[in-house]
Chains A and B, each alone.
Chain A
Amino acid sequence: MLIHQYATPKAPKRIVVVGAGGFVGATILRAFAAVGPPPIGLTRREVDLLAPDGSNALKARLAPDDAVVFVSAIAPAKTVAQLMANLRMAEAACAAFAYVMPAHLLYISSDAIYADDANPVTEYSPVEPSTMHGMMHAAREMMFRAEYRGPLAFLRPTLIYGADDPHSGYGPNRFRRQAAKGEPITIFGDGEERRDHVVVEDVARLAVRILYHRSAGALNAASGVATSFRDVANIVAAQFVPRAEIKSVPRPGPRPHLAHRFFDITGLHKIFPDFHFEPLAEGLARVHWQALQARSVESP
């Protein structure tokens, strides 16, 4: 659970987002820019953590008063090579932080670190990843915990969706893209598995709060509402005219090990009592509208 060092929010002297070129990192960068002085965004162009001088490059851009959000990752990590690359990136970051220790560090982790059967998931659930991606985040958390001595926070989002998400993982993003192309939305089996979905802007708002309170500890970014993939598909389908078709396809394998995932978000209610997630239907509607706007700009 998080503990605030600042009971009253206070803007950090300078904010650095490492991994600002990605979907989540860019949204976090925009969220900080919207509420305070312009943050520093570092993308792979400025700092390539896999390059031989990656650590030095990051070190050169840090100052001891910085509050750092580390969101840089090759995600999802599905292979051993991707796992190891992600760990090397974290290793380079740890080396940089050892030289210039930021005043506060927030690592954007994932709910994939938790055991599959941890329902309802809380910040106290066992860390027992079953995937390469979960193991990557769990290992990175441990690396930062071991090497960084300042106030350290972990934000662990569940499934994130948003207009700019480059991934097409099973869920809202894929469904929207399928429907936009005039294809049927495909769900596996009856699509009955229930998951928690959060819009990327909410993850960014939480990151802002954590840095402004200089919080330490862990917090899940989950809405507390689990929705079946079929229901998500129905919401997305209804956004299109004519309504998109939903097609059930056989599962590529046995039903996933993680049939349902529920979150108990009492921890969030306690630490940020007035924080509210955008309801899924509203978030999906807004993302749909953003996508339409983007398309109209692309093809005037």
Chain B
Amino acid sequence: MTTSPRIAYAGMTHLGLCSAVAAASKGFSTLCFDPDAALVARLNDGDLPIVEPGVEELLHENRLRIGFSSDRAQLADCDVIYVAPDVPTDDAAQSDITGLDLLLDDVRRNVSPDAVMVVLSQVPPGFTRARQQPGQQVLYQVETLVFGRAMERAIAPERIIVGCPDPSEPLPESLGAFLGSFECPILPMRFESAELTKVAINCCLVASISVANTLAELCERIGGDWGEIAPALKLDKRIGDYAYLTPGLGIAGGNLERDLATVIKLSKEFGTDCGVIQAFGANSAHRKDWVLRKLHETVLDGAVSATVGILGLAYKENTHSVKNSPSLALIRYLAPWPIRVFDPIIPGDVVNHPNVTAATSAIDAARDVDALAIMTPWPEFRRLRCRDLAAIMRGRVVLDPYHALDSVAARAAGLDYRTLGVS
């Protein structure tokens, strides 16, 4: 191939949009296709349906190389077409791949015969091989999107994993040229290996998180401080500086749970042992309720009346998503008590609660509350001054699972400050 390949992304949700912007930032002409004309119109107006640090700026910088369209005919001009819709999960963390299949079929019918299609969505092992058709190349590429860090990871991946029919054969020239621009190791492997690599990555992450959560809980009981332990672990080369060792409220967001569910399903189907994976899930379920347990222990148990302040409704900072939001999960179980809520992005009316007040600011959410729970560590919450909180709250209890506040300052302000991993 002598000219630079033209790249397309089909499915303009979080994964497709961020990946397309990253492709354009590498200098490639990029088509952003979605069959939803209304969504495309919105994107053409610069109105992004996602919140992701850096995406707006990069889109603006590379706007001339990016085209948004719902016109299928434009797919025929592209050399590499990524099919990249986010795959939804249900409450049992099972994927619904109906939308992906529909879009893949739609794309198939409209690409040129020598184009390469690449599935980028989250798929179960076996998906890609089952969708091979004569005369068309459908490959699979592992995505490692992280909400809040999606652009950073899309632009500079650690490695690129490609599932293909025969890993000993070179990648199609257009795809090879495109992936080469990322200047990172490219690992071709058979379809099933690539699909399982994605699952394996997430299982390793969950293992680290589960270790952190299990031992952080022990720290809370025996006088340890996980914050002192984790850095020591990261200096161990077998564990590493980037290990997921920050305790949290279980695992959330859907993708990690989805992969655990995939392993359990496959293990049951093929008779392999998945006890450890099930244990990860049980530990996660236990830790998810940390704030609820602490609220009962500190304030709600025996309280005739108490008001609870909730800071953060988004699933995590720097996203607009409330799916799997620990905050909303908590609020479900606080019906008997008035609550005050605030989130910098999510409006208070998403909350289903019989006695909720949508506060105008973080400080306003803390006004006259008996306990304050910081459920999403938004940057602006990290800037809150503990003495301001102490002055405006009626009670003293602050539950800060993500350690957004300075614990020393909180205690100095007279707050009964609780965070994960510290007794």
Q: Which residues of A contact B (CB under 8 A)?
A: 120, 122, 124, 264, 266, 269-270, 273-274, 276
Contact = CB atoms under 8 A, between A and B. Distances in A.
A259 B334 CA distance: 34
Contact of B286 (A264, A269, A274, A276): A264
A283 to B, nearest CB: 13
Given A124-B282, A264-B286, A274 B336 contact: yes
Contacts of B292: 266, 269-270
Given A124-B282, A266-B292, A269-B296, A276 B335 contact: no
5 contacts: A264-B293, A266-B292, A269-B333, A273-B300, A276-B301
B56 to A, nearest CB: 39
Contacts of A274: 336
Given A266-B292, A266-B293, A273 B286 contact: no
B333 A273 contact: yes
Contacts of B296: 269
Contact of A273 (B282, B293, B302, B335): B335
Contacts of B302: 276
A220 to B, nearest CB: 15
Contacts of B300: 273
Contacts of B289: 266, 269-270
Nearest to B329: A270
Classify the interface of chain A: helix, strand, loop or mixed.
loop
Contacts of B332: 270
Nearest to B336: A274
A124 to B, nearest CB: 7
B293 to A, nearest CB: 6
Contacts of B335: 273
Given A266-B289, A273-B335, 19 more contacts: A120-B286, A122-B286, A124-B282, A264-B286, A266-B286, A266-B292, A269-B289, A269-B292, A269-B296, A270-B289, A270-B292, A270-B332, A270-B333, A273-B333, A273-B334, A273-B336, A273-B337, A274-B336, A276-B302
A202 B318 CA distance: 45
Contacts of A120: 286
B401 to A, nearest CB: 15
B282 A269 contact: no
Could you say which of A122, A124, A273, A274 has the most chain B C-beta atoms within 10 Å of its C-beta? Answer: A273
A102 to B, nearest CB: 29
Interface string B319-338: 00000000000001111110
A102 B197 CA distance: 53
Contacts of A264: 286, 293
Nearest to A125: B282
Nearest to B335: A273
Nearest to A124: B282
Given A264-B286, A276-B302, A269 B293 contact: yes
Contacts of A266: 286, 289, 292-293
Contacts of B293: 264, 266, 269
A139 B82 CA distance: 56
Nearest to B334: A273
A270 B296 CA distance: 11
A266 B296 CA distance: 9
Contacts of B336: 273-274
Nearest 10 CB-CB pairings of A with B: A274-B336, A266-B289, A270-B333, A276-B302, A273-B336, A276-B301, A269-B296, A273-B333, A269-B292, A266-B293
A2 to B, nearest CB: 13
Interface in B280-312: 282, 286, 289, 292-293, 296, 300-302
A54 B335 CA distance: 44
A273 B330 CA distance: 11
Could you say which of A120, A122, A266, A270 has the most chain B C-beta atoms within 10 Å of its C-beta? Answer: A266
Interface in B242-295: 282, 286, 289, 292-293
A122 B337 CA distance: 25
Nearest to B302: A276
Nearest to A223: B301
A273 B289 CA distance: 13
A242 B391 CA distance: 48
Nearest to A264: B286
B206 to A, nearest CB: 19
A49 B286 CA distance: 41
A119 to B, nearest CB: 12
A228 to B, nearest CB: 15
B335 to A, nearest CB: 6
Nearest to B333: A270
A167 B337 CA distance: 39
A266 B301 CA distance: 12
A122 B332 CA distance: 20
A120 B282 CA distance: 12
Contacts of A269: 289, 292-293, 296, 333
A124 B282 CA distance: 9
A274 B299 CA distance: 12
A198 to B, nearest CB: 14
B194 to A, nearest CB: 34
A114 B336 CA distance: 31
Nearest to B332: A270
B303 to A, nearest CB: 8
A123 to B, nearest CB: 12
A124 B285 CA distance: 11
A124 B289 CA distance: 15
Nearest to B286: A264
A3 to B, nearest CB: 14
Nearest to A278: B302
Contacts of A124: 282
Contacts of B337: 273
B260 to A, nearest CB: 16
